[in-house]
Chains A and B, each alone.
Chain A
C-alpha cells in the first residue's frame, strides 16, 4: 500500500508540473506565435483540483495537516494519543460526508464541459472524487492504526533526493 500511495503522490505532484508547463507553454505560444493551447485554462484547473484532492488524501494519511499544537504539546504521551485519536475520528467524520457529497456533485455535473474542447468535466471530477474517497478511507485506516498504536506505519516516505548543496561547498 505504501508503494501505491507513493506512486499516487508522484502522479499528483507531476500534475503540478504539468500546470506550470501548460501555463508557460501557452503564454509562449500566445505572445510569440499568436496561437493558444486549447483548454490550457480549464485543463490546468482540472489538473489542480485532482492534484490537490489527492494531496489532501496523502496529508490525511501522513497526519501532515496544519494543526494548532497549543494543548497537545503540554500533554504526556498518553494524553497526546487520546487527543490524536479524537482528532482523527473528527477528521473522518468530516471527510466521509465530504467524499460522499463530491460524488453527488459528480452525479449532477451533467453535460458540462471544458470551454474549448468540451471535454466532459464529469471525468475530471470523478478522478478528484476518488482522491477524496481515498482521503476518507485513509483517515479510517489512520484511526485504526492509532488505536492499535501502530501509526508509525504511516510516516511519510523520505524524499530520496540529495539535499541542496551546502554553502561551504562552493562560492
Chain B
C-alpha cells in the first residue's frame, strides 16, 4: 500500500479512537503499532511493544517530569501555595481587582517551584479561587484567570514542556529555562492589565478588598523564604554548576520535602498524598509519551515526517508565513487534543523545518510553550479548564471558557510580540554564555 495513504489512515485511526474516548496514549499506541505492522509485518509491530514502553519509562532524562511535579506537590501540601497567595493579598488585595492580581502573582510564584501548568492551575484553584469567590468576584472570570495563570507553570522555569522540547531537539535546557523567564513575567504584566481593564469597566465583578497594614505585609514576605530559597537553590545550582537539570528536579523535590519536614508542615499523610498525586499525574503523562513514541516510529517509517518537513520548507510564503501557518495549526490541534501529545507528535516535523528556515532553537522553544498555552485554555478541550471544573464543580465549563477569553486575547498579543522581538526571549540566555 502507498505509504502516504497508510500515514493518513494512521492519523484517522488515531483520531477515531480518541473520539471513542480511548485514552490518548493508548489511541496513539494502537495506531502506531498497527501502522508499523501494516508496513513492516506483524512481528516487528508487536516487537515495538517489547522495547519502547520499557525504554521510555526507564529513561532518566524523563525523570524530570515526575520530579518537578513532586516538587510542586510537596510545596502545595506544605502550604507554600497558600503563603504565596497570602503575600499577594497582603500587598495587592486593596487595589482594584486586588485578589485577582494576587492570584496571578501566586501562580507565578508557584510556577517558579514546579514544572507543570496543570499542577499550578489545580493548586491555585484550591487556594485562590475560593477566596476570590468569597470576596464576591465573578466565578467564571476568576476560574478563567486561574486557568490562564496556570499556564505560567510551563513558561516560568522549571518547565516540563521545555525539558521535553530540549530532549527531543537536543537544545540546551538551561538556556531554554532562562528564555522562559521574561516572557513569563510579561504574561504576569499582561494579565494584570486585563484585570485592571475589567475592573475599570465592570467594578462590580471585581470588588476591592481591605487594605493590610505594613506589619502584616512584611510578615507575609517572611513566610516566603522557603519558596525563594527553593527557586534560587534549584536554578542557582543548575547555573552555578552544582548539578544537571535532570538532577535538579530530584534535588528540588527532596529539598521541598526537607523544608516541609523542618517546618513541621508535612506528616506521613501529607507526604503519601503528595507522592500518590504525583504518581497518578506522571503515569497518565507517561502513557501519552509512550503512545507518542510508538506513533512517531510509525510515522518515521512511512517517511511522512521527512516529506512534511520538505513541504513546509518549500512553501512560497516566507519563513514568517510558515511560522504563522504552524501556529494556526497548533491553535486548531490544541483545541481538540492533548497538548503534550500534540508537541510530541509535531516537534519532529516542525523543528527541522523551523531550523532550515533560520529560526533560533531556544526562541522556538518559547513559541512552542505559547502554542501549548493556547491549547490548555481554549475551548472545546482545554485541560486547565477541565481541571478547574473538576475542583469547582458548580462553575460550568462554558462559564470558565468565557472567563478565559480576555486572557487568550492578551496571550495572542504576547505571541505576536515574542515573534516580533526574539530578544525578549533570547537576551537572558545570551547572558549565560
Q: Give me the interface of A with B, judged by CB distance under 8 Å.
A: 9-10, 12-14, 16-17, 19-27, 31, 41, 44-46, 48-49, 51-53, 55-56, 58-59, 62, 64-72, 83-84, 86-87, 90-91, 93-95, 97-98, 101-102, 104-105, 108, 125, 128, 132, 156, 159-171
Contacts and interface: CB of A to CB of B under 8 A. Distances in A.
A125 B29 CA distance: 20
Contacts of A58: 279-280, 283
Given A91-B26, A94-B29, A102-B49, A160 B269 contact: yes
Interface in B355-408: 380-381, 383, 386
Contacts of B81: 164
B41 interface: no
Interface of B: 17-26, 29-30, 33, 46-47, 49-51, 53-54, 57-60, 62-63, 66-67, 70, 76-77, 79, 81-83, 85-87, 89-90, 123, 126-128, 130-131, 216, 219-220, 223, 242-243, 246-247, 249-251, 253-255, 257, 269-280, 282-288, 336-338, 380-381, 383, 386
A22 B76 CA distance: 22
Given A23-B251, A171-B219, A55 B282 contact: yes
Contact of A48 (B53, B58, B127): B58
A90 B82 contact: no
B241 to A, nearest CB: 9
A68 B381 contact: yes
18 contacts: A17-B271, A22-B250, A23-B246, A64-B280, A66-B25, A66-B288, A67-B18, A94-B30, A101-B49, A125-B54, A159-B277, A161-B269, A161-B273, A164-B127, A166-B127, A166-B130, A169-B82, A170-B86
A161 B85 CA distance: 21
B337 A68 contact: yes
A31 B337 CA distance: 43
A61 B288 CA distance: 17
A111 B109 CA distance: 48
Nearest to B253: A20
Contact of B50 (A83, A95, A102): A102
